[in-house]
Amino acid sequence: MLNFEFKNPTKIIFGKGEIEKIGREIPTGAKVMMLYGGGSIKTNGVYDQVIHALKAFEVVEFAGIPANPEYEVLMQALKVIKEEKITYMLAVGGGSVIDGVKFLSAAAVYQGEHPWDILTKSIRTEVGLPFGSVLTLPATGSEMNSGAVITRAETQEKLAMGGPGLFPEFSILDPEVVKSIPKRQLVNGVTDAFTHVLEQYMTYPAGAHLQDRFSESIMQTLIEVGPKVIENPADYEAAANFMWSCTMALNGLIQKGVPTDWAVHAMGHELTALFGIDHARTLAIIAPSHYRYNFEAKKEKLAQYGQRVWGIHEGTVEQIATVAIAKTEDFFHSMEIKTTLGEYTDDYEGTAEKISKRFTERGWLGLGEHKTLSPSDVEKIVAMSY
Ligand code: NZQ
Ligand code: ZN
């Protein structure tokens, strides 16, 4: 097991009806900006619950943070934060709204001229403007981690940022919000969370037995409850287990003491930036090719995953590892997720070269758990995903 430090300061308040507790978590006298997306919270009752819970506070609303939170929109919110002297933010939404609020938390205290530099220059935020969240869509884990991914349409970029100051102070996880989530987003949630576990698990054996078992149990739970929640989002037990699995998949716990990969996300983000494909679907496009391309380096963990998660016990390490990749693809297909780029766009020629060139320009010369996956490897993996 590798050395590690672990601190996760986010307070989780989990369960039915818990949104009403928001007021207790925000400092008395705070001037609160409540930020949300395109309006789903207005039709599913979440908006009313939040407004009721915030009745003791002065509240400024900012609506319209789009999926793949857009820099230009966030800059409008930043202006309001400064003009209104906001002291606390509340994100009410999925990963996009929470990520957008993390950017604002960093940008509100940033001294430089262009907040976009926070993303391009990897500026870590030690202390940001404080915020909490009400999660409405289980998927990203953003509600309990300190990372964010921001999109800039103007330059077709989608870049990550973070820092210890960007954990939500609290997050409310009420599984009842799952009832109103459309099937497409539920499927995305299962796929994204599942791939988060893969990115932190599918490397090489590191003697971290507990972390491996945590990862395997999250994947097994997603395989069990994913189809149930997609079939019936009002199934509270399935929704609750789905929600907690997504949070646990990316709150830092399973990555402690183990090598991590994250190359699937790096490549996937480019597909969202270039084609607007939903984040989770870009992962399903890249992951199978990534594991086939890096088969030799990853085959032991692939085989362990095949045995423990998919119950494949017959065959050599190579054979089990090969079936495990196919099983992963089948799982995505079973949720009607397409796994090749050509099924999303006809305009894919040249994409591999373009992404490889971008990585070279950014100095991303060695990705993956061994920091050896070069832009030319990336080019081959993306081309295998057409
Ligand atoms: O905008 P509204 O109207 O609210 O609709 C949203 C949105 O259109 C809708 N929705 C959310 N909750 C709902 C609901 N509809 C009905 N009922 C509800 N209860 O769902 C749509 C998608 O929402 P979004 O927040 O974009 O989805 P998700 O949570 O999948 O977030 C994706 C974003 O997170 C980033 C992705 O790159 C992408 O930008 N990620 C963030 C990570 C992190 N911070 O750790 C890690 C991830 O790997 C990922 O990169
Ligand atoms: Zn993801």
**Across the 386 residues of the chain, what is the mean pLDDT of every consecutive 10-residue run?**
97 98 97 97 97 98 97 98 98 98 98 96 96 98 98 94 98 98 98 98 98 98 98 98 98 98 98 96 98 98 98 98 98 98 97 98 97 98 98
* pLDDT recorded at residue 231: 98
Residue bearing the CA closest to ligand 1, atom 16: 181
CB-ligand 1 contact for 252 (6 Å cutoff): no
State the Cα angle at 188 between 184 and 191, rounded to 5°.
Answer: 140
Count Cβ atoms below 10 Å from residue 111 Cβ, excluding itself: 4
* pLDDT recorded at residue 179: 98
Please state, in angstroms and rounded to a whole number, the distance separating the CA atoms of residues 75 and 154.
14
CB-ligand 1 contact for 38 (6 Å cutoff): yes
Count Cβ atoms below 10 Å from residue 228 Cβ, excluding itself: 15
Alpha helices in 232-262 (DSSP H): 236-249
Full-prediction pTM beyond 0.90?
yes
Instruction: Outline where DSSP puts E strands in 168-321.
Output: 170-173
Residue bearing the CA closest to ligand 1, atom 50: 149
CB-ligand 1 contact for 177 (6 Å cutoff): yes
Q: Are 281 and 338 in contact (CB under 8 A)?
A: yes
Q: Convert 341-363 to b/e letters by CB count within 10 Å (16 or more is b).
A: beebeeebeebbeebbebbeeee
Domain ranges of the chain: 11-176, 183-384
* pLDDT recorded at residue 185: 98
Q: Are 159 and 123 in contact (CB under 8 A)?
A: no
Atom of ligand 1 nearest to the CA of 283: 48
Topology match between the domains 11-176 and 183-384: no
Task: Please give the CATH topology (third level) of the domain spanning 183-384.
Answer: Dehydroquinate synthase-like, alpha domain (1.20.1090)
- Closest ligand, as measured to the CA of 96: 1
Among the listed residues 151, 30, 171, 157, the one whose alpha carbon sits nearest the alpha carbon of residue 100: 151
* pLDDT tens-digit series, residues 321-330: 999 999 999 9
CATH 3.40.50.1970 fits 11-176, yes or no: yes
Atom of ligand 1 nearest to the CA of 97: 25
- Closest ligand, as measured to the CA of 68: 1
Count Cβ atoms below 10 Å from residue 268 Cβ, excluding itself: 27
Look up the ipTM and state it. Answer: 0.99
- Closest ligand, as measured to the CA of 69: 1
